[in-house]
Structure 1
Amino acid sequence: MVMPPAKEVAAARLPREVIFVIDTSGSMSGSSIAQARDALELAIARLAEQDSFNVIEFNSYAKALYPDARPASAANRDNAVRWVRRLQSQGGTEMALALNLALNGRENPGRVRQVIFLTDGAVGNEDGLFKLIQDKLGDSRLFTVGIGSAPNSHFMGKAAQTGRGTFTYIGKIEEVKEKMGQLFAKLESPVLKGIDIAWPGSGRSLAEARAGPVSGRADRRFRPAGQSRGRDPPLRPARRCAVAGNAALGLRAYWPRHGRAVGAREDPVPHRQPARRRQGGGRARRGRRGRPRPPPRQQVHQPRRGGQDAGAPEGG
């Protein structure tokens, strides 16, 4: 199992295409739009020169700063910051228009594509938006950032899960720098893309899944796609990794799951309660309805007078 590096290695970083989406609808008025602008300025300032980016705002309509993603040069970043500072909250919340602009549904070889969505999540057509994300995601990853005192955490959490990303909540303007810094420290160091695992031989399939997304410095989730051909996979369990989906209980294999290695076994034995025992030893006998039966009466064998057994016939 390939693990993230202990220290940042700038030369090993994959170039990124980062699409920032900011909600400028009327529900974002006041401190929410101020938090969103501050968070977006911080994000743009942290882009590397090898990255490319674009910024999309949406309310009753959706508008992109550039027709396509531009290189993250100093001039392009400065222009984007000036554009962000002029954004004001107004109008409705047409999130589908913004998602259509941000998610191109294509594969992006050689580049990690990340969509960072800043919003309060005040939408009504949640199921339709989840389907839109699933249909147009491609190999992008969607990261949602909740802004304001009461964002729609249910929608934003599930949207991030559907988009193979994470959800970050910012409740106060004082938290913008800290929480956005934590998020971007994770997103800035992708080290693997298009993870696919296979084993030789023939046998039972381990997972039915597409190639895994990016694994970076964070505790990323990815699905291994491969087969075990009747033998243990030649992998050691990892300590810091999370695998989406259920453990493969039909195989004798060790899988990392939620921060610890989990061993799977064939034909798992159900848990059985120990048998109840009487005070004098031995198992308690049970009747048809599961009630303990009383112990059998003990027959005392006593000889009759004259030395004859009680059961012996009397002689004449």
Structure 2
Amino acid sequence: MKPRKIAFTILMLVFGLLAARPVLAQPEKGADKTLSPYFFVKSDNPETDRMPLKSTSAKVNVSGVIADVVITQVYKNEGKKPIEAIYVFPASTRAAVYGMKMTIGERIITAKIRDRQRARREYQQAKQEGKSASLLEQQRPNVFQMNVANILPEDVIKVELKYTELLVPTDAVYEFVYPTVVGPRYVGQSSEQTGAAEKWTSNPYLHKGESAPYSFDMKMELAAGLPIQDISCATHNVNIRYNGSNFASIQLNPSETRGGNRDFILKYRLSGGKIETGLLLSRGEKENFFLLMLQPPKRIKEFQIPPRDYMFIVDVSGSMNGFPLNISKKLLKDLIGHLRPSDRFNVLLFAGGSTVMAEQSLPATRQNITHAINVIERQRGGGGTRLLPALKKALSMQGTEGYSRNLVIITDGYVSVEKEAFDLIRNNLGRANMFTFGIGSSVNRHLIEGMARVGMGEPLIVTRPEEAQTKAAKFRKLIESPVLTGIKVDFDKFNAYDIEPLSIPDVMAQRPVLLFGKWRGEPQGNIVVRGIAGDCSYRKKINVVKIKPSKTNTALRYLWARHRIAILSDYNRLSPDGERTKEVTSLGLTYNLLTQYTSFVAIDTQVRVIDGQAQTVKQPLPLPQGVSDYAV
């Protein structure tokens, strides 16, 4: 080969290697800046404290099926200049955030609920006037942003927020999930294209393996209402103390001080596999609320199961590189390896683009199963996460006639197209059941759970490799057949209204039938639930007269409103409507709840910064445990 041709070949190889290297996104300059996460760059300049969040902790009180949570965030400015701290953090997808307060020294300022634009205006004005202030906004139903303005050097400011949520058991197992860190979100568009709503995604991250720069703590008091059989926490090392048969105290072990890089997940069971069921009533000054939790019947027999057609949609993008993709491979081996001979299946892999294993579903023969597993094993993870085109491709492919079609999505959810994904799935309801597997230690639960909810399916979260086999078995058990279908509810002389949900979807697992609502007058009459379990009729009657309203059920007002807001928001994503927006805003203001359109703002009365403006600092976040630098 001639020297010139050799030099040209080497040059092309170098360019190819450079193009193949992962791009570690840094904040870009200029008007066309692309919104993306970036790596935190440490500075030796002592003037500005770039890690102002010093600790975050949670105190959880569980009474029966309702959890009440108090989160405390402590900010301290160890620099020499006033700062504004911005901290993006996750919360449960079911959280009803109903209160916030800010403490500066001896002064306690209770936050007020405002419509979003007014809250931000009041915050910005206070910031410009030199007053300390805090602003809590919802960026997603499970992603919040805290702004704390004018933190003086050596200042310690505590911000406390409160939320409540309902704990719904599956297969008699209760699960409390406390998300700790927001994983990096891929947008791939400029701020001019997306507007202000997506700017939170441009956030600094530490490198893989670097500990959270703030401490983490968790304390939990559990009053189960019935004897507790066992308690477990596989994500963190905890100390458990039983206080009688129905009560327990759970505290994070001191060794877990830097454990804020993965979701805290605690599970417990009641003795004999029982679950808390029945009717809860709450009487208020203006409105009364109820919650019905009813245990479904046992599953139908295996011979009644129809043949299945599966499409496995697998995320092989950069954020799945390493630990998450290894879990996915183990999970898929189990799922595909246990298909029945009567089943059919296909595999669609996606990252920046997508590829499908076959143009149509294949029989679940040993040869086809082996081929599919080999295809999956060859994946290494790289590129962006283009979920929408993959979903569109999967939905456009024809299923097998006479088969029950099921789409199984396996991803960490590190994208910011939740609304578009929900719309696409809702617009295709009836074409397939939707099941989602969230893979990783801190997945985007809003996307994972939301896709399953709008698709009338079920979400499953796999946080560790050893869970893959158990979750795969749970999926198989789940999909065998709906536990209860054709559910109807009648109110006999019980004056109920504003009921959620308006229609109850098929129950796909051993979990209670849930019904929220309001009631007028006196608690009387009956609630009758009917349905079909396999080839048998199901009927359950609840005598309301026997149930007494309790002051301990005041959280029902928040839970009802939160559920109503979630339903309205889902519809608004499908078809934006000004009236629905007004209704969500009104619900937030009336029930003192954080929503997409309402925010909490707390403003100090004292002017504390006289000269100049505080420097804005975005709190860097640790990468979720097991997520590589390829995600950024």
RCO greater where, 1 or 2, for CA within 8 Å and sep 6 or more? 2
Q: 111, 119, 127: which one pairs with 2:411?
A: 119
1:137 aligns with 2:429: yes
Q: Specify the SS of the correspondent of 1:103.
A: helix
1:190 aligns with 2:481: yes
Q: Is the 8 A contact 1:23 1:119 kept in 2?
A: yes
Q: 204, 226, 242: which one pairs with 2:513?
A: 242
Aligned to 1:97: 389
Aligned to 2:528: 254
CA distance in 2, matches of 1:211, 1:112: 21
Q: Residues 217-266 of structure 1: CA distance to partner in whole angstroms, max 9, x if unpaired?
A: x237xxxxxxxxxxxxxxxxxxxx525x5469799541279xx9574879
Q: Which amino acid aligns with 2:395?
A: L
CA distance in 1, matches of 2:391, 2:326: 22
Bigger Rg, structure 1 or 2: 1
Aligned to 1:311: none
Q: 1:248 to 1:123 in 2, by over 3 A?
A: same
- Structure 2: any 5+ residue segments left out of the alignment? 1-294, 491-498, 532-538, 552-632
1:177 aligns with 2:448: no
1:39 aligns with 2:331: yes
Shift in Å at residue 19 of structure 1?
Answer: 1.1
Q: Is the 8 A contact 1:49 1:72 kept in 2?
A: yes
Q: Residues 174-232 of structure 1: CA distance to partner in whole angstroms, max 9, x if unpaired?
A: 22112222222222x12689848799xxxxxx99978955x55x237xxxxxxxxxxxx
CA distance in 2, matches of 1:198, 1:270: 21
Q: 1:3 to 1:139 in 2, by over 3 A?
A: farther
Q: Specify the SS of the correspondent of 1:11.
A: helix
Q: Is the 8 A contact 2:299 2:481 kept in 1?
A: no
Aligned to 1:151: 443
Q: Specify the SS of the correspondent of 1:190.
A: coil
CA distance in 2, matches of 1:82, 1:126: 31
Q: Is the 8 A contact 1:57 1:63 kept in 2?
A: yes
Shift in Å at residue 131 of structure 1?
Answer: 0.7
Q: 73, 76, 86: which one pairs with 2:378?
A: 86
TM-score, with normalisation over the residues of structure 1? Answer: 0.63
Q: 1:137 to 1:103 in 2, by over 3 A?
A: farther
Q: 338, 360, 373: which one pairs with 1:68?
A: 360
Q: Which amino acid aligns with 2:450?
A: K
Trace 1:20-31 onto structure 2 (pairs within 5 A). 20-31=312-323
Aligned to 1:166: 458
Q: Residues 290-309 of structure 1: CA distance to partner in whole angstroms, max 9, x if unpaired?
A: xxxxxxxxxxxxxxxxxxxx
Q: 1:207 to 1:125 in 2, by over 3 A?
A: closer
RMSD of aligned residue pairs (Cα, Å): 3.9
Q: 1:210 to 1:255 in 2, by over 3 A?
A: closer
Q: Specify the SS of the correspondent of 1:43.
A: helix
CA distance in 1, matches of 2:398, 2:543: 36
CA distance in 2, matches of 1:195, 1:125: 32
CA distance in 1, matches of 2:329, 2:421: 24
Aligned to 2:587: none
Q: Is the 8 A contact 1:27 1:89 kept in 2?
A: yes
Q: Is the 8 A contact 1:100 1:136 kept in 2?
A: no
Q: Which amino acid aligns with 2:323?
A: S
Q: Which amino acid aligns with 1:58?
A: F
Shift in Å at residue 10 of structure 1?
Answer: 3.7
Q: Residues 46-96 of structure 1: CA distance to partner in whole angstroms, max 9, x if unpaired?
A: 100111111111000111111111121222111111111112201111000
CA distance in 1, matches of 2:519, 2:530: 13
Shift in Å at residue 167 of structure 1?
Answer: 1.5
Alignment length (residue pairs): 237
- Structure 1: any 5+ residue segments left out of the alignment? 200-205, 221-240, 273-316
